[in-house]
Structure 1
Amino acid sequence: MVEVSREQALAYRIAEHGLHRPVEDVNALPLLDLGLQDSLRDTALLSLAARVPGPVTPGALTTDPRLALVWSHRGAPHFHRRTDLPELAASLVPLDDADALSRMLWQRKELQQTELSAVDVLFTTARAIRTVVKGPITKGAVSTAITKLLPPSFARWCRVCGATHVHEQLMRLATIHAGVRLEADRRPATLAPLEDRGRPATRPSPAATARVLERYLRFNGPATPGDAAGFTGSARASVTGIWPADRLTEVHMAGRRAFVPTDRLSALENPPTPEGVRLLPPLDPFTQGRDKALLVPNKGRAKEVWKILGSPGALLVNGEIPGVWRTKASGKRLTFTITAFDPLHGAVRAEAEAEAARVATARGFPDFVVAWT
């Protein structure tokens, strides 16, 4: 069995994530095979800025007609290539009821109240959304409308909204099966029909789901089946039957068995040396790997990188995460506060400040300042 060191795994991931900036065209970014998450303000845009060599402007993703923003993996908003959406939707059809329950974040007791299978709950909701969304319409209006169309057992009291409405996660998961996308850069969140939406896939596609697991392992491998299932939100037992073992190689890393796609084994064995500085935003795909202890072994530092509420961005330096960063906007100026866990060389600080300039440009700020702590 191949033995893989922590440093080797991190160097491989950095290369696969495109953090060496080998690709200029957004649509050619390999990471789009999995999607760019956009859960926080400008997350996907800043993830892009960390991965392409040229300047990134505020509309780099939102105005690109080749891309669409949809609720996909785990119900989180991701930018995907429009040409990838049919297979993506097929991969998001639950494999079975246990898988549907896991993705919906429901308990079996909640499901019993509906007197339906979990899969039927999902597609009943999708049909309601498809009926309601005929043009751009706010998420709140959609929720109100479909709650009236669906059985009362689909809804719960929401303390935040002060109203009873359909489950948030259920609505998010059902939307892509309704042929509906998110309007990028619209506040409040606004839904709209996909321009070329056809009939939704309603039967599971084990092959399509297996390909998502394999792509997770490509970008975040070596990793375990549980890591990959966590990315999709699937039940761990559900992915066992579709695990693409014939296309994977098992390795030994950090005291555990893990997997990587066989066609990426040579890249794992001989990854390029990670060099340079990047400012990764919160929820960047690199820091969203499920095995966070591999990225930051020090528990105290890990708590600074991944907070329960309000996580900062991560400072990536030559393959390691030696600090975090935050921003605060004031007028036309963006102020960066970069906190280093250990003293950094002046050259590293200069590179970090050059990256701050890229972030400011991407967010549309003509002026910026960097404070170190």
Structure 2
Amino acid sequence: MLNVDRQQVLAYRIAAHGLHRDVTDPAKLAVLDLGVQDVVARDTAILALAARVPGVLTAEELTDDARFTLGWSLRGAPHYHRSADFPGLASALFPLDDADASARLAWQRADIEQAGMPGLEVIRTAARGLRKVVDRTMTKGTASEAVTKILPAGLSRWCRRCGATHIHDQLMRVATPLAGIRLVAGATPATLTALEKRPRVPTATDLAAATGLVRSYLRLHGPATAADAASFLSTTRTHVTGRLWPDDLTEVRVDGRKAYLPSDRMAELENPPKPSAVRLLPPWDPFLQARDRATLVPDPAHRKELWKILGNPGALLAEGELVGAWRSKSTARRLELTITPLVPVPKPVRAQAEAEAERVAAVRGYAEMRVVWS
């Protein structure tokens, strides 16, 4: 059995995530096997891709590229996926059973009782309703209002902020990809439209495709555990180990803890390239989505700086470690980045970080930029 420490694991993950910039075409990045989460106001997806490819990308290049599709997918969050992969996500994300459906909806007993139907039927009913009403491009609010009118009352709730009754937000997010609906890239507010070739609303989980998502998690964020993969997919460890656990895994010990990696990645784990890259990772970057945060950042106080309940900062990656946090503010022409080191950062690394900040400004379309070290 291979024994590794966290530094070797991080070196492997940095390479697996494409952070050495050895892939020139963003559509070929391995992180797209799971998708890249997007927060439009903070340009998270385009910055994540720009951290991985040599050239400077722009938001327009991403939103206008037909090879990418934006949609609510994993955990109900907006992600960019390869367009060729997106239709198949529907049956991969379809819950395994009623308990799994409730877990993905984050519903409590009271929600289930109010719905008056099993979890799977809740999601299927919502997906069929959305498929019916989203027959043209429309905002999330318009679609929510329309589908609420044709759904059973138990699938909606009063929204104090809007002053109206809407379909449960997470239910809408979970059901939308199953209905063959994507998000319009770059649109604010969130805007829905139907896929050109809509698959039918699934009636069962595609176990091979769902197992593939678990395998992709282990390939990108491994060695890892079933509990880690389950958290990423917003399901339970029991569902992952019971029906979705790949059979082509090798057990590894990470600082004495049992974890797993796809067997065809063992050579890369045993001899990963030196993690010398300096990168400014945006909030919700794929690298930061690993569920074993103590592996990424052992110090609990430092973890609190990088992962907030609301408003995560970006992270400074240098020489194989997450060594700082960063935030930005802007005017019409100027972007200012404030970098807060978590540990002492030597001058050569600071210089490389400032070069990366220039890239961030170029990607976001700012003519001027300034870096402040806090």
TM range (shorter): over 0.9
Compare 112-121 and 306-315 and name the one that shifted more: 112-121
Describe the superposition over 1:249-290 as per-residue Cα deviations: whole angstroms up to 9, x where unpaired: 111113321111111011111111101210001111101110
| Residue 69 in structure 1 maps to residue 70 in structure 2 | yes
What is residue 369 of structure 1 aligned with on the other side? 370
- Distance in 2 between the 1:30 and 1:240 partners? 24
Deviation per CA, 1:43-72: give whole Å up to 9, x if none: 111000110011112213111111100111
Q: In structure 1, what residue type is equivalent to 2:349?
A: V
- Tell me the equivalent position of 1:33: 33
**1:267 alignment counterpart:** 268
Shift of 1:135: 1.4
AA matched with 1:148: K
Letter in 2 for 1:95: L
1:146 maps to a residue whose letter is V
The residue type equivalent to 1:345 in the other structure is: P
One-letter code aligned to 2:166:
H
Equivalent residue number for residue 354 of structure 2: 353
Question: Residues 199-348 of structure 1 correspond to what in structure 2 (within 5 A)?
Answer: 199-348=200-349
Q: Percent identity?
A: 54
Cα deviation, residue 245, structure 1: 4.3
Distance 1:74 1:39 in 2: 14
> Aligned partners of 1:79, 1:44: CA distance in 2, in Å?
7
Partner Cα separation in structure 1 for residue 215 and residue 36 of structure 2: 17
Q: What per-residue deviation string (whole Å, max 9, x for no partner) do you get for residues 129-151 of structure 1?
A: 11111111000111111111111
More off after superposition, 141-150 vs 108-117? 108-117
Contact in 2 for aligned 1:305/1:311 (Cα 8 Å): yes
Indicate how the Cα distance of structure 1 residues 161 and 206 shifts in structure 2: closer, same or farther if over 3 A, else same: same
C-alpha separation in 1, matches of 2:110 and 2:360: 46
Gap regions ≥5 residues in structure 2: none
Q: Say whether residues 1:48 and 2:45 are aligned partners.
A: no
Residue 105 in 1 paired to residue 67 in 2? no
For 1:142 and 1:207, the matched residues in 2 are separated by 32
Q: What do residues 169-223 of structure 1 show as CA deviations (whole Å, max 9, x unaligned)?
A: 0000000111100001111110011112132322111211111001000000011
User: Residue type of the partner of 1:38?
Assistant: D
In the alignment, the residues of structure 2 paired with residue 109 and residue 336 of structure 1 have an alpha-carbon distance, to the nearest angstrom, of 45
CA positional deviation for 1:11: 0.3
**2:193 & 2:246 partners in 1: Cα distance?**
38
What residue in structure 2 maps to residue 22 of structure 1? Answer: 22
**Number of corresponding residues:** 373
**8 Å Cα contact 2:115-2:155 kept in structure 1:** yes
Structure 1 match to 2:5: 5
Residue 343 of structure 1 deviates from its aligned partner by 3.1
1:114 deviates by 2.5
Per the alignment, residue 90 of structure 1 pairs with 91
DSSP 3-state at the match of 1:22 = coil
1:347 CA drift (Å): 1.5
Take 2:239 and 2:173, find their aligned partners in 1: how far apart are those partners?
21
Q: With the length of structure 1 as denominator, give the TM-score of the two structures.
A: 0.97
Aligned mates of 2:8, 2:161 — CA distance in 1: 45
Contact 1:96 1:238 in 2 (8 A): no
- After alignment, is 315-324 or 343-352 more displaced? 343-352
Conservation of the 8 A alpha-carbon contact between 1:46 and 1:280: yes
